[in-house]
Amino acid sequence: MHAMEPSCNMAWTVAAMGKWKREVIVMMLLLLISTTIAKEVRKAKGGRHRKRHSATGGQAIINGTSSNSSEAYCLSWRMAVEANNMRGWRTIPTECWRHVQGYMVGGQYYRDINLIIDQIYGYLDGVTPLGDGFDAWIFDVDDTCLSNLYYYRAKRFGCDPYNPTEFKTWASKGESPAIPAVLDLFNKLIQVGFKVILLTGRDQETLGEATVDNLLNQGFVGYERLIMRSPEYRGQSAVMYKSEIRRQIMEQGYRIWGNVGDQWSDLQGNFSGDRTFKFPNPMYFVP
Ligand SMILES: *[C@@H]1O[C@H](CO)[C@@H](O)[C@H](O)[C@H]1NC(C)=O
Ligand SMILES: *[C@@H]1O[C@H](CO)[C@@H](O)[C@H](O)[C@H]1NC(C)=O
Ligand SMILES: [Mg+2]
């Protein structure tokens, strides 16, 4: 009897379940339908909401002159370039012509450079050169000491592809103006005892004289050395060529305290220097 009880109870439970089951299934179906509908509605709303949200978010950050999508894209493009996430590009996107123009001539470019130079002064405050005549500091020349902004303005700030012949014609004039804050830094470094070495990919044979003249007429006086690309380095990437020259400089006993350039290829490779400082340049890329 005692043994029967469980099975009896079970029979009752199953019978009760039969009645319950129908109600439970109906309720579950209703629940499923209502959640599905709710989900669909939310999805439809959310899609629109997400889109609107991202557009507003973008505008809030880049409000003012940068409220259209091309401006937003060009800001991203320029950031990717400066962070070295975009490499080997030959021209700037045509839609970014006005954006890059605005950046280069609207004041922000020089503000960015001035802030970097503030960082350099901060770095200099914390170091103690040995003062033995071997404390070196390296500068690149083009768009680091001397500005080619006038040339690139005629090239739609880099929308037109690099033309070596035309650039040579421009550089031969020796009329590239100094970047004022760099000239101040240059003078300060020499004054406190650094040996300033100018290292450029410019061709020694064809641009040697014009470059010396240009540096002089812009006030870059008192540098230790101007190293230009001699025939044996023709065709080499800037990274390879500049690394090799820096190796030679180190071999001669110099310590490279700092290295400043507008291209990543000025700063990459070997013997880069204790600190490197990258200037902005959204107009062209040198490998
Ligand atoms: C953007 O700036 C304009 C005025 O220049 C202002 O009316 C608007 O509210 C600003 N929008 C955002 C999202 O900050
Ligand atoms: C850096 O040095 C290494 C080892 O000497 C060499 O293999 C490499 O080619 C050098 N890189 C550059 C960019 O000069
Ligand atoms: Mg340069």
pLDDT tens string, the chain, 287 residues long: the values are 344 444 444 444 545 556 666 676 667 777 777 766 666 545 444 333 333 344 444 555 555 555 578 999 999 999 999 999 999 999 999 999 999 999 999 999 999 999 999 999 999 999 999 999 999 999 999 999 999 999 999 999 999 999 999 999 999 999 999 999 999 999 999 999 999 999 999 999 999 999 999 999 999 999 999 999 999 999 999 999 999 999 999 999 999 999 999 999 999 999 999 999 999 999 999 99
Question: What's phi and psi for 3, nearest 5 deg?
Answer: -70, -25
Alpha carbon nearest to ligand 2 atom 9, residue: 240
Domain ranges of the chain: 81-278
Residue 29 alpha carbon to ligand 3 centre in Å? 70
Mapped to the 3 state alphabet, what secondary structure does 209-221 carry?
A: HHHHHHHHHCCCC
Supply the pLDDT for residue 40. Answer: 58
Q: Is 270 in the pocket of ligand 2 (CB under 6 A)?
A: yes
- Is residue 200 a contact partner of residue 246, using CB atoms and an 8 Å limit? no
Alpha carbon nearest to ligand 2 atom 6, residue: 270
- 164 secondary structure, DSSP code: H
Residue 63 alpha carbon to ligand 1 centre in Å? 6
Q: Is 250 in the pocket of ligand 2 (CB under 6 A)?
A: no
Residue 243 alpha carbon to ligand 2 centre in Å? 8
Torsional sign, CA 220, 226, 231, 233: negative
* Residue 7 identity: S
Q: How many CB atoms lie within 10 A of CB 85?
A: 8
CA distance 104 to 47: 38
Helices 69-82/97-105 angle, 10° precision? 60
Phi-psi region of 259 (alpha: psi -120 to 50; beta: other; left: phi over 0): beta
Q: Which atom of ligand 2 is nearest to the CA of 237?
A: 13
Q: Which residue carries 């978010």 as its tokens?
A: 57
Q: Which CATH class is domain 81-278?
A: alpha beta
Element (H, E) at 71: helix 69-82
Q: What is the pTM of this model?
A: 0.76
Alpha carbon nearest to ligand 1 atom 8, residue: 63
